[in-house]
Structure 1
Amino acid sequence: MIYNSNIIKAEFIKRPNRFIAYVKLNEEEIVVHVPNTGRCREILIPGSTVILREGKNPNRKTKYDLIGGYKNNKFINIDSQVPNHVVDEALKNSKIEKLKNYPIIKREKTFGNSRFDFKISNDNEEEYYLEVKGVTFENDGHCMFPDAPTDRGRKHLLELIEVKKKGKGAGVLFLIQLQEAKTFSPYDDMDENFGKALRLAYKNGVDIFVYNCKVGENYIELDRCVDIIL
């Protein structure tokens, strides 16, 4: 996908809470929205270069969203609204090999008491439920999720097991929002229960997909599979 808004560089100052940050733009300190509730501490460092997207709604409280930043000259997209758009585009273009036989794509669909990012199906009435997680934490090519505890993420995995038990297809796709990714694993030191749930889901037949992205300041798209370490 390509951002169809103005993209601007700024200098990161501080992030007082999950939702806003202060940056320096044209020698002026301004408040911007951060569309990511993760910690992103290794990216959002005082003095680092960050990328802003200009909003189109004139009535919004902040003019810009902080959608990414540079870590050691490596650009990482942190926009949590992006992964579902990227995966939707990839599904429509048959870029995920195992899911190519599900041409009917629906977003935000419910199964039982659970809502998943995608329900995909085909003319044979085969159904597959897919949950998407954006990944931004990286260390020397190794990426991990989550970068903050997520009970909601753990519940999604347990719910996918129930989908599988009902005879439907079920999977979770971790979209790494940077290009230089080599391997992926659950971040057990951050959230041990999430890691346990991911391994349990795998043992129960839930598919685990991990892809990196081709990414720039104004675009991001699904690229290739990344090795998983469970």
Structure 2
Amino acid sequence: MIIDKKIVKGRFLNRPNRFQAYVELDGESLMVAVPNTGRCREILIPGTEVLLREGTTPTRKTPYDLIGGYKGDMLINIDSQVPNKVVEEALLLKRIKPLRDYNIVLREKFFNSSRFDFKLQIEPYINKELPEEYFLEVKGVTLEEQRLAMFPDAPTIRGARHLKELVEAKEQGYGAGVLFLIQMERVESFSPHDERDPLFGEALRYAKTHGVDIYAYNSIVTENSITLDKEIPVIL
């Protein structure tokens, strides 16, 4: 996925709330929007070099969105709107091998009270072994420690509820899965962050034992693009 807006670099100063941050740009302090309500404390450290995407909406209050930061020499994308776009691109390009036979990709479809990111459909004659309809939830991952990616970086009641709804979908004959898109390179494995949110880890293991597919993919990240790369092991 190409980021087609102007990208500039700044230095992170502080984050007074979940939605805003201050950065140093051209020697001045500037307020910017943060399109990620997670903590991102391991990335947004004072002095860190960050990427800013220029906003073009005339009525917006801030001129830039803070979309990424460097952790050492590794660039991490933190834009929470990116994972669904990256996964949609990968689904259409047949880059997610277990799901490549699904030829219809629909966005944001409901099952019971949950709205899942994707509903995939397949004609029976293509592959009779697959469920004709498949619900897929996507979670963006920005937390990494010693090449282990973890989710979430803040407690998420909604995330655990989604997993339980995926189990219900599976029990009713649908395909069901969750894909963790790791918004960086170089990670070697993925695990739930039990220390940060034990209920989510419990729900993820429950989903796995009840037949829900669990995928984790890292990404190739540049200053103006992010692309799904390769699948990595999930350690539960």
The two structures share one fold, judged by TM-score above 0.5? yes
The question of 1:172 aligning with 2:187 is answered: no
> What is the one-letter code of the residue matched to 1:87?
V
The question of 1:106 aligning with 2:106 is answered: yes
Deviations 1:154-199 (A, max 9, x none): 0000000000000000000000000111011000000000000000
Which ranges in structure 2 are unaligned for 5 or more consecutive residues?
125-130
- How many residue pairs end up in the alignment? 230
Q: TM-score, normalised by structure 2?
A: 0.96
SS for the counterpart of 1:228 is coil
| Cα separation, 2, equivalents of 1:179 and 1:193 | 27
> What is the one-letter code of the residue matched to 2:87?
V
SS for the counterpart of 1:227 is coil
2:31 is aligned to 31
Q: Residue 59 of structure 1: CA displacement?
A: 1.2
1:104-183 superposed matches below 5 A = 104-124=104-124, 126-183=132-189
Q: Residue 34 of structure 1: CA displacement?
A: 0.3
Identity in percent:
59
SS for the counterpart of 1:88 is helix
The question of 1:219 aligning with 2:225 is answered: yes
1:29-108 superposed matches below 5 A = 29-108=29-108
Q: Residue 73 of structure 1: CA displacement?
A: 1.3
Q: Residue 140 of structure 1: CA displacement?
A: 1.4
| Cα separation, 1, equivalents of 2:46 and 2:39 | 14
SS for the counterpart of 1:61 is coil
| Cα separation, 1, equivalents of 2:84 and 2:38 | 17
Q: Residue 114 of structure 1: CA displacement?
A: 1.6
| Cα separation, 2, equivalents of 1:141 and 1:112 | 36
Q: Residue 209 of structure 1: CA displacement?
A: 0.4
1:21 is aligned to 21
SS for the counterpart of 1:16 is coil
Q: TM-score, normalised by structure 1?
A: 0.99
2:127 is aligned to none
Q: Residue 58 of structure 1: CA displacement?
A: 1.6
RMSD value over aligned CA atoms? Answer: 0.8
| Cα separation, 1, equivalents of 2:8 and 2:86 | 21
Q: Residue 28 of structure 1: CA displacement?
A: 1.0
2:200 is aligned to 194
